[in-house]
Structures are given as C-alpha cells and as structure tokens.
Amino acid sequence: MGFDQYHEPPEELPPATRTFARLCASMTEEAEAIGWYEQRLAVETDPEAAAVMRDAVGEEFKHFSMDLEFLLRRSPTWREIAQGILFKTGDIVEHGEAAEAAAAGETDDDHAGDGTGSLGIGSLRGAGR
Amino acid sequence: MSNHLLRSHAPISDSNWTLLDDEARQRLGVALAARKLVDFSGPHGWDHSATNLGRVRPVAATPCDGVTALQRRVLPLVEVRAEFAISRAELRDDDRGATDADLEPLDAAAHQIAVAENRAVFHGWPEASITGIAEASPHQGLQLGNHPSDYPRPVASAVEQLLRSGISGPYGLALGNEQYKRVVETAENGGYPLLEHLRKIVEGELIWAPGMDGAVVVSMRGGDFRFESGQDLSIGYLDHDADVVRLYLEQTFSFHVATPEAAVPLKA
C-alpha cells in the first residue's frame, strides 16, 4: 500500500489533514486521467473507440469536480479565491489577482470581495418589501 | 490592478469606500423592486454584451448561390449610469469617525438608478429594446380604483385571471409609490390592515416599486421573467477637485419576458 500522498509522517498528521491529502491525491489522479484521455482522443481514428473514451472522460470530469468541491468545502480561503475565478468571463489572471487580494483582506478596486467592484446586490427574491 | 471602475484612482480611503458601498447597498436594496419578483441571471461581467434569445431572423441575400443563412437575434445589454458628487470634507470627517456623513447625492443617485431599473422591467424601455411586464401582458383593462379600500377586488380578479390562464403562484404584488403609500396608511373596517389583506390574496410578497405606475400582480413561480445582469450595480470613479469627488453608480442589464400572460397590470 502506498502512502505517497503524505508529504509528512502520516502518524503525525491529524485525521482531517490525512483525508484532505487523500482527496488532493485523488483529484490529481483525475486531472492526469483527463489529460491522458485528451491525448488518446486526439490520436484515435476509430470512432467507436473514441465514443467510448469520450464517455469515460466524462466520468473523470465528474470525479475531478466532486473532489474539488469537497476540498473547497474544507478550505474556506481556497473556496473564496475560487469563487472569484471560476465560471466568470473576462481576464482569468485579473480575476485571480483580485480574488487573492480579497481573500487576503487587501483592498483595491474591489471592496465587495468578488473581484469586480460590484456591490454584490444580485437577486433580491425573498428580501421582502 | 484596476478595472474600468477606476476605484483605485479616487482620493478615497478604504473606510470611505466601505461607507459609500454600504450606503448604496442599503438604499438600493430597498428600492430595487423588480429584483424581488423576477428571475435574476448573472452577474456575467462587464464584457457580457447580449442575451441569447434562441431565435433567428432570415438573411435575404447570401454571398453565393447554394447556401441559405439565418442570423441570430440577441438582446443587447444596456449600460445605465447615475452620476453624483460627494464632498471631500464629508469624507474626511468620516475618516475622523463622524457617523453622520452627508451622502444625500449618493442616495439620490441610488434612487434614480433603481427607478430606471424598475420602470424598464415593469413598463419597458423601447429605446433599449426592453419590453416591460405590464406592456407585454395580454391581461389588460383592470383598474385599481380610486380608493385603497377598492384594491382587494381587482387584485383578487388579477389572481383569478392568472389561475384561469394556468399560471401558478406564488404571486407578488408590486405597487407604485402612491398606491403603496395609500395601502400602508389604510385599515379596513374593523381595523384589519389592508396590507395584510392584500398579502393574503396574492399569497406572496407585496412590494414597494418606486417608478412604477399603478400596480402589477406577477407570478413568482420562476421561468417567466428574466433580468440578465452583466456588471451588477457598482460605484465607479469619474474625477475630483479640491472640494468634491465625482462618482457614479452603474450597471448593465437586459430584461426579457418569456411568458407575457404571467402578469396582470392594474391601472391607477
């Protein structure tokens, strides 16, 4: 049994950290698999084989996303930075810098914390009168 | 690091920005009536320019024979801005710990941009390609009446029209400034507040909608009305002199009615 996912002696690590490390390792494996399938699909000429692999890589997308969501739930700062970057249009690097600064409590263009300067009002459904 | 709002270029302290943002958020949260009733999509960012309608129009001519063409129809987002100026002396007093900074220009701008949003959603804005809820509705002709004690009957009729059209609840009732004022001031026979009576009829929210004419009963089941936000409401920086800082409230949005029959306007 391998313990490569631990960088420190496992017996010195608290259970929550060991779980966190296992999910990090799992997510790394899923990302590697996605990369491998991307390469295989790029060279595969048999359409039936390609269809099977496209279906398989969908599983890896799901596994990677589940691992990521678990880890983000366990790491509020990671989650806060991710919220400033993921599923947004525009400049990724700019969003990343703004999200990192917001998570660190710095102030710049953004005082609402989402990297855009928005007041963060959004939907008001359920807000009453 | 800076974006199009240029906030970092303003001679405004972090504490001042917090004061201004909090004040704007508070004022807007009260007055933005449409967002309390319709679906909200976004914010999709400053560079989001159009809403996909999923529809096409024919293109008459093509570059060569043997091909046909259709052009996608989209709803362009509109940029709405309300400018205001804040006294730098007031901001310096805020830094000193004053708790009563004069932010009236910001309050007025917040009210105006909320009125613009409400009017666009409820009554439309042809110049910005927006059709409003009241104008789109096929249910026309109901009158609120002159006296607030008359209101329950047309509101109940509106709910009945929605039910007959197969539009389920919960429903919301948005009331213009004058109509809302009359409702909250009125108690029916026996002292039962009219506000509560109307709330029971619609089985949902009763909303103050500054900028709206009359009232409208709207289904809140979802999927009928879509407000699409690009840049959500934000404060940006224009310029400054020794006395004032000129700022603005700005947003980009589109609005689309998917189910016109899901609302019944009530004329004042």
- Whether the CB-CB separation of B49 and B76 falls below 8 Å is answered with yes
| A91 phi, psi to nearest 5 deg | -80, 115
Search chain B and give the residue with CA nearest A126: B36
Asked if A94 lies within 8 A of B44 by C-beta distance, the reply is no
Search chain A and give the residue with CA nearest B227: A123
- Please indicate if any CB of chain A lies within 8 Å of the CB of B209: no
Distance from CA of B61 to the nearest CA of A (A): 34
CA torsion sign, A43 to A46 to A49 to A54?
positive
As beta bridge partners, residue B247 has B84, B237
CB-nearest to A121 from B3, B28, B207 is B28
Run means of pLDDT, 10 residues per run, chain B, 268 residues: 84 92 94 94 90 94 94 97 96 91 95 97 96 93 85 92 92 93 76 82 90 94 93 95 96 96 93
C-alpha distances out from residue B54 to B9, B73, B195, B258, Å: 41, 7, 40, 12
Residue type, B63: P
CA angle B262, B267, B268 (to 5 degrees): 140
DSSP secondary structure of chain B: ---TT-GGGSS--HHHHHHHHHHHHHHHHHH--GGGTSEEE----TT--EEEEEEEEE-S--SSTT---EEEEEEE-EEEEEEEEEEHHHHHHHHHT-S----HHHHHHHHHHHHHHHHHHHH-BGGGTB--HHHH-S----B--SSGGGTHHHHHHHHHHHHHTT--S-EEEEE-HHHHHHHHH-B-TTS-BHHHHHHHHHTS-EEE-TT-SSEEEEE-SSSSEEEEESSPSEEEEEEE-SSEEEEEEEEEEEEEES-GGGEEEEB-
- Please indicate if any CB of chain B lies within 8 Å of the CB of A40: no
Structure token digits, residue A106: 């710095």
Residue B88: CB atoms within 10 Å: 17
- Please indicate if any CB of chain B lies within 8 Å of the CB of A62: no
CB-nearest to A90 from B40, B45, B233 is B45
| Integer Cα distance of B117 and B194 in angstroms | 27
In this predicted structure, what is the pLDDT of residue A112?
Answer: 41
Asked if A117 lies within 8 A of B8 by C-beta distance, the reply is no
| Integer Cα distance of A57 and A44 in angstroms | 14
CB-nearest to A119 from B2, B28, B205 is B28
Asked if A108 lies within 8 A of B220 by C-beta distance, the reply is no
In this predicted structure, what is the pLDDT of residue A1?
Answer: 45
C-alpha distances out from residue A18 to A21, A73, A74, B1, B239, Å: 5, 15, 12, 37, 53
In this predicted structure, what is the pLDDT of residue A129?
Answer: 64
pLDDT tens-place string over residues A5-39 = 788 888 888 888 899 999 999 999 999 999 999 99
Residues of A in contact with B234 (CB under 8 A): 116-119
Residues of B in contact with A94 (CB under 8 A): 1, 3
Asked if A123 lies within 8 A of B24 by C-beta distance, the reply is no
- Whether the CB-CB separation of B219 and B168 falls below 8 Å is answered with yes
Does the pTM exceed 0.80? Answer: no
Distance from CA of B67 to the nearest CA of A (A): 29
Run means of pLDDT, 10 residues per run, chain A, 129 residues: 74 86 95 97 96 97 96 86 89 89 60 64 78
Characterize the bridge pairing of strands B50-58 and B70-76: antiparallel
Distance from CA of A31 to the nearest CA of B (A): 27
- Please indicate if any CB of chain A lies within 8 Å of the CB of B13: no
| Integer Cα distance of B13 and B214 in angstroms | 43
Search chain B and give the residue with CA nearest A84: B45
- Please indicate if any CB of chain B lies within 8 Å of the CB of A93: no
With tokens 């002199």, the residue in question is: B241
CB-nearest to A119 from B40, B46, B233 is B233
- Please indicate if any CB of chain A lies within 8 Å of the CB of B263: no
- Please indicate if any CB of chain B lies within 8 Å of the CB of A120: yes
Residues in contact with B261: Cβ distance below 8 Å, sequence separation at least 6, in sequence order:
B137, B138, B139, B162, B165, B167
- Please indicate if any CB of chain B lies within 8 Å of the CB of A2: no
C-alpha distances out from residue B260 to B37, B135, B137, B224, Å: 14, 9, 5, 8
DSSP secondary structure of B128-183: GTB--HHHH-S----B--SSGGGTHHHHHHHHHHHHHTT--S-EEEEE-HHHHHHH
Question: What is the ipTM, given to two decimal places?
Answer: 0.85
Residues of B in contact with A101 (CB under 8 A): 1
- Please indicate if any CB of chain B lies within 8 Å of the CB of A129: yes
